[in-house]
Amino acid sequence: MNFIKTAIAGVYIIEPKVFPDARGYFFESYNERVFAANGIPNRFVQDNQSKSSYGVIRGLHCQLGEHSQAKLVRVLSGRVLDVAVDIRKDSPTFGQHVAAELSAENQRQIFIPRHFLHGFSVLSEEAVFAYKVDNFYCREAEFGIAYNDPDIGIDWGIPEDRIITSEKDRMANRLQDIPDER
């Protein structure tokens, strides 16, 4: 696996070694020892999956406080723009984001540490998205920031009139609303 550092410390793009043959391909998507040797010692406790159509934006979401989650995300089918936003108030990259295209073709993954918002937009007709988290979900710890917060300025790669999102995501907080206790 190739671990690529991004502009924000702790966020990695991970490219697996894919072994194609006449039957298709094989690759290792996760190996705890390899990840730990590359600075990612997190132990994952839950896997999640979603299916969405073109124009869907899911995010920006996180869990706060002791329920914060690191995520290892990837696409099983289709293509998405995946986004991680640094919400560590003491970080020199607070409010900045990393965006990368993930697809079934490129097999890339992104590791997102705790105390980051996460979201993605679907760029293909539909996409199946899967991710691991290192802490269990807690409804009371949910927090979100609107996908179109001008203080973050994410280009989701979707025309505004084609965006599909939940009411909850449209009415979410702004970056300036992040509580001191994350």
Catalytic residues: 61, 131
Classified as helix, coil or strand, 70 is coil
- Please answer whether residues 41 and 35 qualify as being in contact, where contact means their C-beta atoms are separated by less than 8 angstroms: yes
- Residue in this structure with the two tokens 């696996």, named with its chain if needed: 1
- Please answer whether residues 129 and 73 qualify as being in contact, where contact means their C-beta atoms are separated by less than 8 angstroms: yes
Cα 124 from Cα 121, distance rounded (Å): 9
